Structure 1
Amino acid sequence: MQQLSQNLSANLAALDRMFGPSADYYAKEITIYHCKAVILLFDGMASLDSLWTLLLDAASRQAPPVQPGQCCTGMQAYELILHDSAFPAENAPVEDMDELTKRLTAGMAVLLLDGCAKGIAFSVQGLKFRSVGEPSGEGNLRGSREGFADLLRVNLSLLRRLIRSEQLVQEAAQADTGMRTEYAICYCKNKADPAMVQRVRKTLAAAKPELLLDSSYFVPWLLPGKARLFTPVSYTERPAVAAAKLCEGKIVVLVNGSPSAMVLPALFCENFECLDDYASTAVFSSFLRVLKYISFYLTVFLPGVFVCLAVYLPELIPPQLLYRIEAAEKATPLPLFAEMLLVMLILEVIREAGLRMPQSLGHSVSLVSALIIGDAAIATGLMSTPVIFVASITAIAVFVTPSLYEPATLLRLGVVLAAGLAGPVGLAGAFFAFLLSLSGTACLQVPYLAAHPFPQRPMAEDGVIRRNYRRLSQKGFNIWQRREEKECKGRRNSLFPHWH
């Protein structure tokens, strides 16, 4: 760690070696309080107009009287600026090159004085960032329209504006990467579990990702070990959703340069909830939640059940429907099992193409895909109408729960493979594997199926069926309370086994 020198020329030479070739590096030699100095900043990150207004104009008005032929020393000018002036300077001095680089890359301007081994930082950030707008990936009818921006400080201010309490803690740190990306851990200290907060803090500090461009890059360190279908963390771009999760005792991780906030731990039932559930009536919200559960299980199991019934158990299908399926399959060269897999893969290709290509070409993708699957595939006899119908229903149903798109897609393919190769036995095995993957998932000692596992407690206060919001508000929900209740019950059972 290179310390700053009292010699201004030596400091400038060291900085020229570090940032000299960079086009955005700006160093301006000035005289302030009759002392030689230099202003350092990165062009486009600090506001020059604010800097000159705050520093040079104020210095000209507040210049201390000196005797003819004399000038202030660097330490005298440093003390005058930091303690005896109205300059909006940072309280903490800059004493080494690492701290100087950190302040410059944060958009601050740093003043170095000749004869002083300390620098003064000024908060004159002029960073350009995407404006705060509504996120496109999370649609809501009611509630806030604000979405997280790409700048970390802006996102932290959005959370502070919603949670106006001293309980909100926002800890900022730099990741151990070459990019030195800044991230923040947010939690409410009166609700979050201190042990879990400390665990997350240590894990993120010890993580060494090659790059850190999003909060999801931390997941392999937070959840090490075996491969899993379901990841017990969630993501949101809405400050209102993040604030609600913080009030439930959860931990939110934000990364500079990304509008996506990671919330942990997450529960399986939360994938079927949204902000509109609490702005609508309890009856309608409960209906929508049941519909979302049905849609999720349809998108996972419907293609596999269709293949299993049509190939292995045709006697269970109504005769009229069976005759139509049989007539459609006779006109296609592929077996029904292979046909279903082909249609599902084509739908995934179309979905990925529509997601990645420019918006100006999006209509072309929709038109071409409709012609290929809706007309040409059937007209040429490559695919049958029942298979395309079933695959289309599953493709639409998965978008009802977009946060479960990735595991639902993999599970759907796995269920079709198991049902096509092993029939009813494979279908039952796939179902039990699905339950096992759910029950074996946890994050920060909170099971993924807690706090209201379905179907053990489908009529819970805020489970599959939601109660009136006035009744829900009588008792706040904390993500850690159920785990604490279970721990207390376990300790009571071990102390007083005769109670049972």
Structure 2
Amino acid sequence: MRQLSQSLAANLAVLDKMFGTSADYYAKEITIYHCRGSILLFDGMASLDSLWELLLDAASRQAPPQQAGQRCTGPQVFELILHGSAFPAESEPVTDLADLIKRMTAGMAVLLLDGCAKGIAFSVQGLKFRSVDEPSGEGNLRGSREGFADLLRVNLSLLRRLIRTEHLVQEVAQADTEMQTEYAICYCKNRADSAMVIRVRKALAAAKPELLLDSSYFVPWLLPGKARLFTPVSYTERPAVAAAKICEGKIVVLVNGSPSAMVLPALFCENFECLDDYASTAVFSSFLRILKYVSFYLTVFLPGVFVCLAVYLPELIPPQLLYKIEAAEKATPLPLFAEMLLVILILEVIREAGLRMPQSLGHSVSLVSALIIGDAAIATGLMSTPVIFVASITAIAVFVTPSLYEPATLLRLGVVLAAGLAGPVGLAGAFFAVLLSLSGTACLQVPYLAAHPFPQRPMAEDGIIRRNYRRLSAHDFNIWQKREGK
């Protein structure tokens, strides 16, 4: 990369050619300690008030030692400011053009001096960012209300405030993209597997996404190969959750500009857990976990089981219920199999419309979908009440485990197709296909279906049934190691 020149005019000419047409580029020539220099920054990212207070005001009150009739040269002023004064400058000087641009785009101000081929950076960031609010997608009754912001440095400070130990490591690097987006790898060096940390670091350094707007953009490079329904990574916008995962030995990846933190590796059973599980009683937490497991399997298999029983095995349905289903289906023009697929697709369209449209129009979607589409479809005989009832149950049950929404939706459609086309054989085949998809998924050599204390036996104290938190705290948990005494 091009090195900085000793000529201030040459450096300013290069920068003016690069950023001269940008409205936020700010270059102010000054004289400090009788030496010509220039302050460089991007307006809106660095605070001018802080800069003048730190640099110019202090320089006006401090005179460098010099002989009469002699002026300080650029290298002398550089050494004086960087090492011989109380100016809060960055310890590492700016030596090349790439480093200069990196510091400026990070919100720093850079001082260039005439006759010196190095610059001095000042941390006077004045970046505007969204406040640390509660995440809207991860609701909890107890615990912290803080959520990650969009600025990477703010998110790193939130993690550091929770994990106050020397073992926490936060490695910041720039992605190999046109945008040069920063990302961070966070882990505890005494808990995370060093080989897996190196593997993740190399994978992210080798990744070349066209754009990097979220941590999920790294997944194709972290998990290359075949297409998969279940992705063995999880995401969170809560610093408390990310801190808990780091203390379990996991690796957290944060990207500048996104509040979503990616956690590596993730287990299937963790989709049925939340922070409230450990703040509530063990009995109630166990009940909620069982309810979440039941809801997930309902949303995946209930429509397919209903189609299979109604079309291929009606003798297994109670007579009174069977008569009502038959009477409702006689009034509809479509077969039950096609009707179920149509209702599921319509519900997905309604869900997507409610998610993407402006919030001010959200009530209109609910009104149109509930009163007009649902009531009119039944009244005109286009759809039957049992089919809409079953599809509605599955649509609601999927929101109990929102992290599994994407695979659950695709699996639900696949199970309905298999059950409608092949009956009980197709339903059984779909079940084994789901099981095969789960068992064939892994991340960083940790199977997706691995028990909590990888790689030995299931974690009886904190599985589907949770034990008392005092008992859980008696054993240190690390995802890479067996638990002591097991």
- Shorter-chain TM range is over 0.9
How many Å separate the matches in 2 of 1:360 and 1:237?
Answer: 24
How many Å separate the matches in 2 of 1:456 and 1:355?
Answer: 41
**CA apart distance, 1:66:** 3.8
**CA apart distance, 1:463:** 0.4
> Does the C-alpha gap of structure 1 residues 121 and 238 become closer, same or farther in structure 2, counting only changes over 3 Å?
same
Superposition TM-score, scaled by structure 2 size: 0.97
Q: Secondary structure at the match of 1:309?
A: helix
Asked if residue 23 in structure 1 is aligned to residue 52 in structure 2, the reply is: no
Structure 1 contact 234–263 (Cα < 8 Å) conserved:
yes
Q: Secondary structure at the match of 2:369?
A: helix
Q: Partner of 1:77 in structure 2?
A: 77
How many Å separate the matches in 2 of 1:444 and 1:456?
Answer: 17
Asked if residue 325 in structure 1 is aligned to residue 313 in structure 2, the reply is: no
**CA apart distance, 1:461:** 1.1
Asked if residue 463 in structure 1 is aligned to residue 463 in structure 2, the reply is: yes
> Does the C-alpha gap of structure 1 residues 127 and 456 become closer, same or farther in structure 2, counting only changes over 3 Å?
closer
How many Å separate the matches in 2 of 1:213 and 1:453?
Answer: 34
Q: Secondary structure at the match of 2:453?
A: coil
1:347-386 deviation line (CA, Å, top 9, x unaligned): 0000000000000000000000002343100001000000
Structure 1 contact 458–464 (Cα < 8 Å) conserved:
no
> Does the C-alpha gap of structure 1 residues 392 and 376 become closer, same or farther in structure 2, counting only changes over 3 Å?
same
**CA apart distance, 1:236:** 0.1
**CA apart distance, 1:70:** 2.6
1:416-461 deviation line (CA, Å, top 9, x unaligned): 0000000000000000000000000000000000115999977711
| 367-376 or 204-213, larger mean C-alpha shift | 367-376
How many Å separate the matches in 2 of 1:416 and 1:129?
Answer: 45
Structure 2 contact 277–285 (Cα < 8 Å) conserved:
yes
Superposition TM-score, scaled by structure 1 size: 0.95
How many Å separate the matches in 2 of 1:457 and 1:68?
Answer: 81
> Does the C-alpha gap of structure 1 residues 458 and 369 become closer, same or farther in structure 2, counting only changes over 3 Å?
farther
> Does the C-alpha gap of structure 1 residues 458 and 184 become closer, same or farther in structure 2, counting only changes over 3 Å?
closer
Q: Secondary structure at the match of 2:197?
A: helix
How many Å separate the matches in 2 of 1:291 and 1:451?
Answer: 20
> Does the C-alpha gap of structure 1 residues 229 and 461 become closer, same or farther in structure 2, counting only changes over 3 Å?
same
> Does the C-alpha gap of structure 1 residues 455 and 248 become closer, same or farther in structure 2, counting only changes over 3 Å?
closer
1:58-83 deviation line (CA, Å, top 9, x unaligned): 00111224445431100110011011
How many Å separate the matches in 2 of 1:96 and 1:454?
Answer: 47
- Residues 236-247 of structure 1 correspond to what in structure 2 (within 5 A)? 236-247=236-247
How many Å separate the matches in 1 of 2:308 and 2:461?
Answer: 37
1:185-222 deviation line (CA, Å, top 9, x unaligned): 00000100000000000000000000000000000000
Q: Partner of 1:194 in structure 2?
A: 194
How many Å separate the matches in 2 of 1:455 and 1:15?
Answer: 55
Q: Secondary structure at the match of 1:170?
A: strand
How many Å separate the matches in 1 of 2:238 and 2:459?
Answer: 28
Unaligned runs of 5+ in 2: 482-486
1:62-110 deviation line (CA, Å, top 9, x unaligned): 1224445431100110011011100000111101100000000000000
Structure 1 contact 133–145 (Cα < 8 Å) conserved:
yes
How many Å separate the matches in 1 of 2:378 and 2:141?
Answer: 38
Number of residue-to-residue matches in the alignment? 481
Structure 1 contact 458–465 (Cα < 8 Å) conserved:
no
Structure 1 contact 182–256 (Cα < 8 Å) conserved:
yes
Q: Secondary structure at the match of 1:150?
A: coil
**CA apart distance, 1:280:** 0.2
Structure 2 contact 453–478 (Cα < 8 Å) conserved:
no
How many Å separate the matches in 2 of 1:213 and 1:454?
Answer: 32
How many Å separate the matches in 1 of 2:373 and 2:318?
Answer: 27
